[in-house]
Amino acid sequence: MPADLSLLQQRHSVPSRQLGEPAPDEATLQTLLEAAIRVPDHGKLVPFRLIRLQGTAKLAFGERLATIAIRNNPDLSDAKLEKERLRYTFAPLVIAVIVALQADSKVPEIEQKLCAGNVAYNILLGAYALGYGAQWLTGWAAYDREVAGILGLTDNEHVVGFVHLGTPQIEVPDRDRPALADVISTWAP
């Protein structure tokens, strides 16, 4: 009989707009993040790091991003402008997951990126296991070098995602998932 896989079968993202207080407390967050960084890591490079955005710092970060968005697109609609201004105001905690690419390594960049991506996913899984909600978001800010500068990233570092964490404020229905038969095949020579 297979082990219980209910965590994987039931995990879902909670929209960041539906995440409120409380975030995990300090001890819980430390335990969550210590578990999250236990990922496959070819070459033991540790090609990732985490940046915590919380409280007034999180709000200031969001305001800076809104300013950049407006400057980059002066014709931004009122609705999109409001979305930019509010993006970091909902979830009480955001963890920016950063990949630190080591170009001189024999480990291909894709494996380093996947390693960092696994950290982000482990945060999602861990948050769900602990009764919290989480959503992994990217958006334009994850790919913008000016935003990278605000975060203090070096040229070899990039945002993998912003993981928003908090307590779900609503019951989130599961979304449609692909049927296994639609995504699996068997290779034969």
Structural domain that includes position 106: 12-51+91-170
- Quickly count: other Cβ atoms within 10 Å of residue 99's Cβ: 24
Could you tell me the two tokens for 142? 């994850």
Whether 64 is in a domain gets the answer no
- pLDDT exceeds 70 at position 55: yes
Question: How far is Cα 11 from Cα 129, in angstroms, rounded to an integer?
Answer: 8
All residues at 6 or more sequence positions from 45 whose CB lies less than 8 Å from its CB, including other chains: 102, 105, 107, 112, 115
Cα 52 from chain centroid (whole Å): 11
Whether 189 is in a domain gets the answer no
The pLDDT tens digits of the residues spanning 120-174 come to 999 999 999 999 999 999 999 999 999 999 999 999 999 999 999 999 999 998 8
- pLDDT exceeds 80 at position 3: no
Whether 147 is in a domain gets the answer yes
Better-predicted residue by pLDDT, 54 or 174: 54
Better-predicted residue by pLDDT, 9 or 26: 26
Is pTM beyond 0.85? Reply is yes
- pLDDT exceeds 60 at position 1: no
Question: How far is Cα 115 from Cα 47, in angstroms, rounded to an integer?
Answer: 7
- β-bridge mates for residue 167, sequence order: 20
Q: What pLDDT does 2 receive? A: 65
Q: Please name the residue that has the structure tokens 């024999």.
A: 106
Whether 182 is in a domain gets the answer no
Q: At what angle do helices 78-86 and 55-72 cross, to 10 degrees?
A: 150
SS3 assignment, position 96: strand
Whether 58 is in a domain gets the answer no
pLDDT (average), residues 60-69: 94
**b/e code 22-60 from CB counts within 10 Å (16+ = b):** ebbeeebbeebbeebbebebeeebebbebeebbeeebee
* Domain containing residue 95: CATH number: 3.40.109.10
Q: How confident is residue 39, by pLDDT bands cut at 50, 70 and 90?
A: very high
Whether 65 is in a domain gets the answer no
State the burial class of residue 9 (Cβ atoms within 10 Å of its Cβ: 0-12, 13-18, 19+).
Answer: exposed
The tally of domains found in the chain comes to 1
For the chain, give the percent of residues with pLDDT over 90.
90
Whether 16 is in a domain gets the answer yes
Question: How far is Cα 21 from Cα 93, in angstroms, rounded to an integer?
Answer: 9
The pLDDT tens digits of the residues spanning 65-114 come to 999 999 999 999 989 988 988 999 999 999 999 999 999 999 999 999 99
Whether 57 is in a domain gets the answer no
